[in-house]
Each structure stands twice: as C-alpha cells, then as structure tokens.
Chains A and B, each alone.
Chain A
C-alpha cells in the first residue's frame, strides 16, 4: 500500500501558509518544514522489556526559516494553536526581534549569504509498505521478539542476556514556501539482536541488524541472524589481543560501510568546506584512492532508512558520485552551504528533528562493488585479518585521520582463515593511504541502516552505509 500522508499536516497547511505569507512581507525568503512522524519501538530482553511510540525520528512540529538583509534565522515550535495564526506570527516576530536586538548590542557581524532559490515546485511522494507502525499487530510482534530472546538465551552456555529490539517510523514531512509545496510519506524500520556473554569476569557483546524502507514486516527477517549473533558473542570470549602493527586486511561490508562513512562521508560534507574544516575541498579532481574505488552518496543510491524523496530544505534527493575510479569528483551539500560555495545543493540538508538546525549530512554512503569473490580475496592474503562488525568511528576531515573501532578480526594465514579471533580491534590511519591501498573489491555489496550519525558529538540523524568486501592494508591495534 501507499504510505498515507499525515492528516495533521494536511490540516495545518493553510495556517502555515498564512504565516509564511505574512513573514514574506518583510523577508527575502521564508520557508516552513512541518513534520509529523509516528513510531513504534519494542525492546525485549530476558530481564527487562519496554514498548514505546518513540524512535530516534518521531517528532511533530514546525520550523520557519527566514532571510532578511542576507542573514538567516529560524524559529521552531510545537506549542502553537494553529487556529490563531496572529499569535504565531507575533511570537515569531518577537523572537527574531529580541535576538536581533541582542546581536546588534554586541556588535555581531553577519556572515552574509544570498537568497535561496524558490522556483515553483509541487511534489507529493508516497513510498510503499505492507504495514504501518501504528497499525502493527503488537501481540504478534511482541511474541516474536520474546521468542527470539528466549531462543537466544538457550543457544549458548555463557549467554547472560539476549535482546531483540525492533523499531519502525512512519515519516510525514511537508515543505512549504510561497512557491513550493512538497509533501512526502514513507516508513522505515530497523531491528537488532544483541547477545551479552560472560565468563571468568569477562563480558562481551555482539549484535546483528536488519533495516530497510519497509514497515514492521521487516522484523520477519530478524530470527535468521540469531545463530550468528550467539556464535559471534561466544567467539569474543575466546578472542585474543592483536599484536599492534600494519596488516593486509579484508573489511566485511559492515566495516566497509564504516570506512565509507568516516572517510568520504564526513570528509566531503560541504558545510565543512564553507568553514575551511575539510581537506577534501583542496582535492576535488585529484586522486584520493586507488583505481578500484568508486563511491556514491545520496538518498537515491540505495533503498534504506534514509531514502527520502526530498531533504529538510525542500531539495529533491540525489545520487552523487563522490569518488570515481580513485578521483575525488564531488562532495555533498546542503542548500545554504551551496549558496555560499556557488554550487548546487545535492539533497543532503538534514535536521536531527524540526527543532534542530540543518547541516550537510549523509544519507546512503556506499562503495561500488568489484569483481572478486570473498574467497578469492581471502586466498590472496599471506598473513592478515578479516575484519567484521563495527562499534564506532571518528574522522578528522581537516587531516584525514580515521579511527574505526571494529568488533573482531579473523586471522588469515596462507590464504585461509585459521579460526583464531582477535578483539577488539582499533584501526587508525591516513584516509588516502587506506583507500589508496584498496586492491580488490568483492562482486557483492550490502547496506546497513541500523546506526545513527552525529556531527561532532551531537545532531544525531539516521544514515545508512555499506559496500562490498575490500582488500587493503591497515594499521591495527
């Protein structure tokens, strides 16, 4: 079925337009992003269970963006009575005036910016889903997750907890300006199974996830990953520490995605170019990786949790080729940064929610596939590691440093997995070295959308990333 658009947003649209019309009288640009996203979250553990209508992206509210005298400002609210637009208009004007007065008293200079494009555009997009989170059969879903958790507890001697968590969000967003009316609705879902194991005072955890631009029907896929999770966690109890050094490595698609995200995800967010915070700005058209590397970013380049029709600034979704055969071609850009850089936005302007600022953010960040099989890649390594599972990552766009915390490494000796596991593994290094050494890519690829991404250490948004198995060299500790 087509995912229905919010009745609430349809109802408030005329009032929001009235506010826009009024603000337009003395502003050069006015827009409103209106959101109404409902969700469902069930977390089942052996010892603790919860259910809620909150997910990372549930929200309801409106944010107005205005520009006057080359200065942009925003007012976000969810406390408004939409039957009385005069009160809303007065509130917005009072807030903007009070802030301007304080800024003026402190002699604050403005970073002058042109006026955003407001060419006429109308769009109404609905994605497909079999089921909505608000209509899910919760008894069946809870029973399914309880069964997974119970089975997990019985599958290993050292399992002290097995958690099955499922969440689904029905997104409705409306972007209005004097000339634009864009509306979209879709559902995305994600779920994980995590096992905690303990032995001899050692506590370890492993997990696997599923995600997609689907309704709660996605959760049927969850049970399949359970055996791998339990085995994976138990393997960690016997893991050894890695001898620090540089190794030939093969990254699993999940680790490949982490590298994509940290290396040329954050590294080419072009609001960072405006601030002079990204080395990538100086490398457009130059080699940053081996010939084997092609990378894409955009809401259109995969179907996962962040595959929307338009972004939070009313820019239609895109598919940007960031790296083509090792050459850096383009970054990704929100609308204001594009205006400041004299380029076009790529549909990557995202907010944590309506009450947060827009930044350039990632959507789907993916390495392209190659032509080898995973087995051929393992067979090509004399001594090294197959890296699996991601914990976290961090980038340094100014210096192209990268830190990836990886769940485990499987030892490879003479082209074969030996069964020896090392964990945890921290991979660090210089991005062009890591990507420059990519010599093989597998002929398949996977996308992962169960994680979140911060800008610095805040502004959390949904992202997806992935790719094939990659062979390169990396510094592990």
Chain B
C-alpha cells in the first residue's frame, strides 16, 4: 500500500496519534578480495513502519505499538494491523505525553543521488591506494545507498528527505618474513571522500609497518594514555549520551543543567554542540526519525550542561520543549598542542581489538593492537597486546585535549585526547 492510503486508514482508525516512516533504499554493493571482484550486489528495498499511540480512558497514560511491513501488503492486512496496534498499545501504557507538532521550517530538496558514480569513485579510490611488498589491501567492501525517507504524523508533520549513505570496510595487511598482521577500518560517510580515505589508509599502512616490529606492552600500572584515532569518539559519546533526555529521565545519567559534570577538574573542559550539517558525515539530515527539525545547538559549555537532546516521550516528561535527536556533533578543541600531549611517559593508543565505553557505567576497556610508548627521554616504541581499563567518570577530571580537531563520520573531536591514571595491563 502507498503511504497516503495508509494515512487514510489511520485517520479513520480513531487512534490518539500515529506516525508512518516509509524508507526506500536503493543500494549498490561491491566486494573485493585484494583488488579482484568477489561479487557485486544491488538492492531495492522499501520498509514502512507504523506507530500507533493510544490514550487511556482516564487520559493519564499513553501507549504505543509499532509494526513494520513491506510495500506489498493488502489494504485488509494494513487495516487489521492498525486494529492490532491499537489493542497492543493499550497493553503497554506509559505516563501521559504529547506528540510533537511540526517544528521549524523544514525544506527538503529532492536531491539527485547517483549511486553509480559514487560507487565508481570508491572503486577508483581503492584502486589507487599506495601499496608495496610490506603493506597492502587484503580485502574491502563498498556499500553505496540512496535513501528516501518520508515521515508523516497525526500532528501534521509530513517531511520527505533523500540522502546518500556510504560505507567502506577495509582490511589492511602488513607482512614481513616472520609474520603478517591486519588492521580493520570502517569508513561511514555520505559520498566518497577520496582524499580522507587515501590519507587515512596511508597512515594505516605506516601503522602496519610499526605493528610488525612492536614488542609486548609492558605492565605500566596507572599511566597516562593518549587517544589519537577514531576510538576517541567512544569517549565523547559518553558525554553526548549523558545529555540524552532518556538517560536523564531513567537516572542513568546524573547530568543537570547549570551544574558541572565533575568537581575538581584539573584538565580541559568539554564544550559539545550538535550540528545539523557536518561536511562528509553520513548523518546529515533535516529531521530526526520522529520528524522533528534538527538544528545546531550547544548542549554543554565548559563541562556545564546547557541543553538536552532526545526523543518526544522523555523530553515531555522532563519538560524539555523543542528537542530533537541529533546526528552530528562537535567537541571544541582543548588548549594543548600535539607535542604537549605526547610529553613524558605516555601510551598513545592507535588500534584496539574493540575499544568500548559503557555509556551507562562509564567503564572503558580495550585490548591493544598497536600503541606507541613515549618515554621521558623522547623515545617512541611501538607496542602490542595487553589492555587498558578505567572509568571515564573518574578519568574526565584530568582530561587534556588538543586544539586541532579531526572528523570521524558524524563527530568532529579533538585530534588527541589524554587521560591520566588509566590502568594498563601488560602483555609481557
């Protein structure tokens, strides 16, 4: 069924509120082993998601139920599904909240997205990556999509956006006579940004060479650690998630407006702003997935929350008006140079097996695949193995950031972040 026909059925249903999200994805995919094509794929997929909201008889609670369906369902099926959703929503009531009305002036252009050309750009970029006898592309996968999303709600929102979404997965190998190692890289973006990919893969090849000569990470006990790669994004997500109305309402986050997020801070303070547009990001949208307009907004200024972000329900509960679910964000740079941050004994972590920050507990952990141990005497030694651990709630009190910044997909963050007192478990 077409969206407009579903809208008609929903209007007739008597539901308190409803939202339809109709997403059409046309995608091309190319899989390579070294530079030979493993296989090529094409997809044309439409998903229609219907959410129905039901008000309780006493008017004190609202329940919601969601169903997803393909485009080929019959009118009878959709009508029955809507009836089911109304019944189901009544079983899972939450405290009363109101759905959002259209916000801001949202004008969406019908952009022409050429997935053929974007795919060709990726293929060409990968073909021209510098390789040699030591470092090479083991394999890569290219995903390019044109997504058209329409959101219609009972409150009058009706927005249609079209945007590109791309993903490049690469495995970079380095080998010498004794052994061979690999690094895994994932690049999310809107379209193909050739220069960024080439530069980053060039750096990855250099890291690969160093990894071949790396020795086991020594047991350093509590040590200063610098994050100078994409893993730093996980650290800043702790702050972004902590400003989410859902986290605050559920008491997972103790951030309060106007109150510093930590006392006795010795290092740099965080200023975090969400952005509607960040050039190159895969998350550039006019509206969020509830149809609310996205805009630039300062959320935290020098460690003090000034605004929150998030979805309709929890925003209503917290009395937050005009919120939205952001895609992009930036963290202002700190006060330090690269040289300052790599002074003294410090472990500069480049690759982890899987660096994680639990944004609820604040725990951080990661097994080290490549790090550089900077010594007091200015020496730099590549190391591997072992792990780091700690808790960001404690570590943020002595966090130093570089003035220069780097973009990783939807996050623009300080290029280097230094934390003091991280536990380093050695591999030796």
Interface residues of A (CB under 8 A from B): 42, 44-45, 47-54, 58, 60-61, 71-82, 91, 95-96, 98-100, 102-103, 105-106, 108-111, 138-139, 142, 160-161, 196, 198, 201-205, 241, 244-245, 274-277, 336, 355, 357, 391-392, 394-396, 398-399, 401-403, 405, 424, 426, 428, 456-458, 475-477
Contacts and interface: CB of A to CB of B under 8 A. Distances in A.
B39 to A, nearest CB: 4
B144 to A, nearest CB: 11
A341 to B, nearest CB: 12
A74 B37 contact: no
Contacts of A355: 43, 45
Given A50-B64, A51-B63, A456-B186, 15 more contacts: A42-B92, A52-B66, A54-B67, A73-B42, A79-B44, A98-B116, A204-B361, A355-B43, A398-B173, A398-B180, A399-B179, A401-B353, A401-B385, A403-B354, A405-B365
B319 to A, nearest CB: 15
Nearest to B171: A277
A111 B33 contact: yes
A298 to B, nearest CB: 25
Given A357-B41, A477-B387, A48 B250 contact: yes
B397 interface: no
B66 A53 contact: yes
Kindly name the residue among A72, A403, A424 whose own CB sees the greatest number of chain B CB atoms within 10 A.
A403
B393 interface: yes
Contacts of B71: 78-79
B369 interface: yes
A275 B180 CA distance: 13
B95 to A, nearest CB: 8
A48 B313 contact: yes
A355 B42 CA distance: 9
B192 to A, nearest CB: 13
Given A77-B44, A477-B423, A275 B123 contact: no
A99 B92 contact: no
B93 interface: yes
B186 A403 contact: no
Pick the 5 closest A-B CB pairs, nearest first.
A477-B425, A394-B354, A244-B425, A49-B92, A403-B367
Contacts of B89: 51
Contact of B386 (A58, A76, A477): A477
Kindly name the residue among A111, A336, A456 whose own CB sees the greatest number of chain B CB atoms within 10 A.
A111
Given A52-B67, A58-B68, A201-B254, A75 B354 contact: no
Nearest to B64: A50
Contact of A103 (B40, B182, B424, B425): B40
A403 B366 contact: yes
A50 to B, nearest CB: 6
B89 to A, nearest CB: 7
11 contacts: A47-B94, A47-B250, A49-B92, A78-B46, A79-B71, A82-B72, A108-B123, A244-B425, A392-B356, A475-B386, A475-B427
A205 B369 contact: no
B16 interface: no
Interface of B: 24, 28-33, 35-46, 63-72, 87-89, 91-95, 116, 119-120, 123-124, 127, 138-139, 167, 169, 171, 173, 179-182, 184, 186, 219, 221, 246, 249-252, 254, 313-314, 352-354, 356, 358, 360-363, 365-367, 369, 385-389, 393, 423-427
Contacts of B138: 275-277
Q: Do most interface residues of chain B lie in helix, strand or loop, or is the interface mixed?
A: strand
Contacts of B88: 51, 138
Contacts of A47: 94-95, 249-250
B366 A76 contact: no
Kindly name the residue among B32, B91, B252, B386 whose own CB sees the greatest number of chain A CB atoms within 10 A.
B91
A82 B252 CA distance: 49
A405 B182 contact: no
Nearest to B254: A201
A78 B45 contact: yes
A426 B182 contact: no
Contacts of A428: 353, 367, 385-387, 425, 427
B246 to A, nearest CB: 8
A398 B182 contact: yes
Contact of A142 (B91, B171, B352): B91
A42 to B, nearest CB: 7
Contacts of A139: 91
Contacts of B427: 428, 475
Contacts of B387: 403, 426, 428, 477
A321 to B, nearest CB: 28
Contacts of A74: 39-42
Contact of B354 (A161, A275, A392): A392
A78 B24 CA distance: 10
Nearest to A405: B365
A275 B44 contact: no
